[in-house]
Amino acid sequence: MRGSIGEIVVYPLKSGAGQSLPVAEVGRRGLAGDRSWMLVDVNGRFVSGREWPALVRVQVQADGAQARFALDGAAALEVAVPADAPRLDVEVWGTRMSAADAGDTAAAWFSAAVGQPLRLVHADAAMQRPLDPKYARPEDETAFADGFPLLLLSRAACEELSARAGRDLGWRRFRPNLVIDGVAAHAEDGWRRVRIGAVEFDVVKPCVRCVFTTVDPDRGEREADGQPLRTLKDYRRGAKGITFGQNLIARGSGAIRLGDPLVVL
């Protein structure tokens, strides 16, 4: 089976706005720069669009340890995290790691926007976050993604969902890194290994969906009608929850581009 890459998206800030790219570099942590910044509360636990839906409207321009954050016309925040920045013990879904703290100015900017004390942290090279050993090798890692380095979704799955729901729900609310054209809806459920360009990937686990999918990516507000979960529960709910899309781990590195063929191995 062959498809092609219809969208390549990175999310520099966990739960922040996505950036569509024509080309991206794949490494051990997934797409370069993806989910390399994150907000945490006073206990070091990650803060996401589940708690603050407007986070999806935060625009980010990032280059390594430097980034510019903007939201709703407010004065932009410019951040540069030095190599000797203080470190914070942070947590993502029960996994703890040491990340670089982005400083008091960044903390004040986001705390004012959200209305609660927050810190901004960066996934620098010194941070170590291994993956779930049930699905990964000991050397596998990711930055601040929920669980795995990349997420893949077929465009046809989104179109089928919209048809069932009776309105266009799009694909952006599902926050995939790769949207695949030219394959049947949910064809990805049957894949175990794929090649995109010169890079191979293990397809390791379905993505279990939660209330974050009900946040409109443009408005930064939850849908009053509970979509898409309202429709998904009727045909995508299994023993482990509602699944939509597949998690990937790269088994190599290199560039991938829009239009690159996807080959199921």
Q: How does pLDDT run across 200-255, given as a tens digit for each residue?
A: 999 999 999 999 999 999 999 999 999 999 999 999 999 889 999 999 999 999 99
Q: What's the confidence (pLDDT) of residue 85?
A: 97
Q: What is the pTM for the complete model shown? A: 0.96
Give the full edge-to-edge strand order of the sheet including 46-47: 46-47, 37-40, 119-122, 95-101, 87-92
pLDDT for residue 185: 98
Looking at every residue in the chain, the average pLDDT score rounds to 96
165-208, pLDDT tens digit by residue? 999 999 999 999 999 999 999 999 999 999 999 999 999 999 99
Q: List the end-to-end C-alpha distance of the chain, in Å, as a whole number.
A: 8
258 and 3 in contact (C-beta within 8 Å)? no
Indicate the pLDDT class of residue 2, thresholds 50, 70 and 90: confident
Q: Which CATH class is domain 2-31+133-264?
A: mainly beta
The Cα 206–Cα 64 span in angstroms is 29
**Average pLDDT of the segment spanning 139-160:** 97
Domain with CATH 2.40.33.20 in the chain: 2-31+133-264
Over residues 34-79, the pLDDT tens digits come to 999 999 999 999 999 999 999 999 999 999 999 999 998 788 999 9
